[in-house]
Structure 1
Amino acid sequence: MVGPYRGLFGAPGVKGFVIAGFVGRAPMSMLGIGIVLLVSALTGSYATAGAVAAIVSLAYAAAAPLSGRLVDRFGQARVLVPFVFLHGASLTGLMLCAHAHAAQWTLYATGVAAGATATSLGSMVRARWSYVLDDPSKLHIAFSFESVADEVIFVGGPAFVTALTTWINPYAGIIATIVLTVAGTLAFAALRGTEPPAVRHRGDAGSPIAIPGVALLSAVFLAMGAVFGSIDIITVAFADEHGSKASAGLLLASIAAGSMVSGLWYGSRDWKISLRGRFVRGLALFAAGLTPVLLMDDLRAMAVALFFAGLSISPTLITGFSMVERLVPAAQLTEGMAWISTSIGFGVAVGAWAGGRLTDLHGASNAYGFSYVCALLAVAVGVGGSALVRAERRPHRP
């Protein structure tokens, strides 16, 4: 199964941007749960914790297409360096406000700043792959590898930040997030040899979101993001309700582990089914896989159910990014992929807020119903509009 991945890393500079990109985006699985654990520990309210995590995701989602457009126009390094320093400073401010028990609005203000200055490093890594690889089959394997890397992050990140927060202090998870983000992003920006060229003049090209297929994918991933955001906070509460809050990271790692395994398998296959067909099937399995989660009332059983729920996530995300790569002009590739990230981010924000509210009102087990409804919505939108994602391959170079 790992054979097809062996030939990916021979091109000059590839190993460097892959490693730096992995370190720099590792905190994407740590930040939300780190904020939830910090704020809930200090306020005693999952609703407040969910709201702060949601505002960070919302600000990121709103700003990601703009930062993507800036990257396409000025290059990755010139945008990443100032943004990552501002992001680190904003997260530091959030911690200090929480430590000082400052007014609640200060948590939201620093959260907005932290989210708005976060960058979609995963989109930039995929843009580099698109720049260095000419072979569509190799690009499929590369995107699959990146999805597996994301899931490795989501397997280890929640458990790591939960351990730091519960065994050291509530601030340790956010501190680790800042260190990894700044170090990895600066290292990634310093690798100029594989950086796609900036395109200063794009003519009359509008935003990629105006492309019908990209708009449809964004709507689907908005609903999927709501599933991810709600499951994060509901699962923390589920573990807490069952007397083992520290198990939350392991439960979240279970769903990411399922996604990682399926992503590795998916990328190793030479698919004859069209991207559209794979996308529709992945969405259907996504909703079906969440059904058992609604029935679990035991930590061990929930871990197994979450593993199977995660099996369709990576294939669906890989297919989505592959379709964007075909739908969007090369000069707008980073912005186009950022729209997927921003859609997921908006969904995570809605899901975190709704998950926190529903957990406080009805308990964690009942709140999982919201996640399931969002999964069904993703299926309905994706299947109903699937004709919009038929795409011819775009030219590789700008």
Structure 2
Amino acid sequence: MTHASSQVPERAASRRSDEPSLLRLAGFPYFLIAFIARLPFAMMVVGVLTVVVAARGSLSLGGLTSAAVGLGTACFGPLLGAAADRFGQRGVLSALALANGAMLVIFTVVVYGPGADGFVLLAAAGIGATAPQVAPLSRSRLVTIIRERMPEAARTRTLSGTMAYESAADETVFVFGPFIVGILASALAPWAPLVGAAVLTVVFVGAFALHPSGRHVSQERDADGKAPSAVADLFRPQLLIVVLGILGVGMFFGAMLTGLTSFMADRGAPEQAGLLYGVMGVGSAILALGVAWLPPAFTLRARWLVFSGILLAGTVLLVFVDSPATMMVALAIMGIGIGPTLVTQYSFGAARSPLGRSATVMTMLGSGVVVGQSIGAAVTGEIAEQIGTAPALLLPILAATVTFGAGLANWVLSSTGPRSSRTAP
């Protein structure tokens, strides 16, 4: 009896070791390619702003141009996600890699040409419309692999860890993206970041599209590629509240970076804004990775409220900052809240995706971040230029309030709304 019972843990351990991990299923090259392929997307908004200000000499036009990129993404991002759900990611992303690379080059030519400002805005909208949203499509691809190829017992924790990694990767890219733009613009020319983004898009987004995992279409689709869920399921309150919450996060990113730049410009060191912003970004990425190890008893809806509350508390400190040192303290507190909040929102998006529409939902959320970032940067920049830094620093507080308020609404909807067709959070 003792001998037989001692073999049970050994067999269980053997089964666990035989279970396929996500790293084994997707392959390490996948994660490397997907990470680099995100960089052009993170460089676009800042790169567009930089080249417009340099070529046209108008900060106001630069803000409007960045907003036009966000508008193009908002209008076409979810449609491209729906196309990826319907036909698979490989063909859609291959076409987008070429189209977006061309639009980045066309935009650069238009900005330096004699054309009217309207053509600049139109070309910027074209950049947003063709933007290959690698991050949300990577989430969709990995979620599909987890649900269809991993043992059920391992799915919940693997899904949580995957959302944590993806958000940490986003945080890292959105910190280094503007940094790379600054280096290329300073060392070469203001147009260099956009040309560099075009090359990265064609090479690495193309590689991401051609990766073997890109051939996969969800098993939830029928032989004709149709989803078992209705389009109306994308507009359920339980899903729309997640979109609103992540829009608030995007607004915070745009408003905080722009307000911080104005804050440091008042002290004669605008180039140091990126370094201070990194204090928040690095802390946020580390905390985002830590979300995977939080106990299941700390539910998703509770995490949204707790961490968005920390974010809101950190933004309130902006009213009292009077030096780079106190600004660093406020940014460090915000970093504790923003990363886990973003992870939680994407986890809700994965859990509440209608059957066969995960890429659509993830691109809706990804578009929400970009649109919010564009709105936050444009509005905050205009206020900073026309009124001053102190009023501009109220915008991150407003954005954090939107995120926290959406968390409150989500708490109610999570307890009273219909259960998701997927694993409920």
TM over 0.5, yes or no?
A: yes
The number of residues matched between the two structures is 390
- The residue number in structure 1 matching 2:388 is 363
Cα contact 1:160–1:249 (8 A) shared by 2:
no
Is residue 237 from structure 1 mapped to residue 257 from structure 2 by the alignment? no
- The residue number in structure 2 matching 1:275 is 300
Of residues 35, 43, 47, the one that matches 1:30 is: 43
Return structure 1 stretches of 4+ with deviation > 6 angstroms. none
- What letter matches 1:334 in structure 2? A
- What letter matches 1:74 in structure 2? F
Measure how far apart 1:294 and its partner are: 3.3
Q: Percent identity?
A: 25
The one-character-per-residue Cα deviations of 1:141-182 (angstroms, maximum 9, x if unpaired) are 111111111112123222221122123221122222222222
The one-character-per-residue Cα deviations of 1:39-62 (angstroms, maximum 9, x if unpaired) are 223334322211111110121022
Between the aligned partners of 1:49 and 1:157, the Cα distance in structure 2 is 18
- SS of the equivalent of 1:169 reads coil
Between the aligned partners of 1:360 and 1:161, the Cα distance in structure 2 is 22
Between the aligned partners of 2:293 and 2:114, the Cα distance in structure 1 is 50
Cα contact 2:132–2:205 (8 A) shared by 1:
no
Distance 1:52 1:180, change over 3 A: same
The one-character-per-residue Cα deviations of 1:200-254 (angstroms, maximum 9, x if unpaired) are 1125611443122111111122222222222233333333332223223223322
Distance 1:393 1:380, change over 3 A: closer
Measure how far apart 1:101 and its partner are: 5.1
Between the aligned partners of 2:58 and 2:233, the Cα distance in structure 1 is 39
Of residues 36, 45, 60, the one that matches 2:58 is: 45
Distance 1:195 1:208, change over 3 A: farther
- What letter matches 1:68 in structure 2? G
- SS of the equivalent of 1:201 reads coil
Between the aligned partners of 2:175 and 2:110, the Cα distance in structure 1 is 29
With normalisation by structure 1, the TM-score equals: 0.91
- The residue number in structure 1 matching 2:249 is 224
- SS of the equivalent of 1:243 reads coil
Cα contact 1:65–1:338 (8 A) shared by 2:
yes
Between the aligned partners of 2:47 and 2:350, the Cα distance in structure 1 is 32
Measure how far apart 1:364 and its partner are: 2.7
Cα contact 1:94–1:107 (8 A) shared by 2:
yes
Cα contact 1:60–1:342 (8 A) shared by 2:
yes
Distance 1:96 1:300, change over 3 A: farther
- The residue number in structure 2 matching 1:302 is 327
Distance 1:251 1:40, change over 3 A: farther
Of residues 93, 96, 106, the one that matches 1:80 is: 93
- The residue number in structure 2 matching 1:92 is 105
With normalisation by structure 2, the TM-score equals: 0.85
Between the aligned partners of 2:256 and 2:58, the Cα distance in structure 1 is 17
Measure how far apart 1:195 and its partner are: 4.5
- The residue number in structure 1 matching 2:364 is 339
Of residues 206, 210, 218, the one that matches 1:190 is: 210
Query: Which 5+ residue runs of structure 2 have no aligned equivalent?
Result: 1-19
Distance 1:299 1:43, change over 3 A: farther
- The residue number in structure 1 matching 2:11 is none
Larger Rg belongs to = 2
- The residue number in structure 1 matching 2:192 is 172
Measure how far apart 1:112 and its partner are: 0.7
Cα contact 1:64–1:116 (8 A) shared by 2:
yes
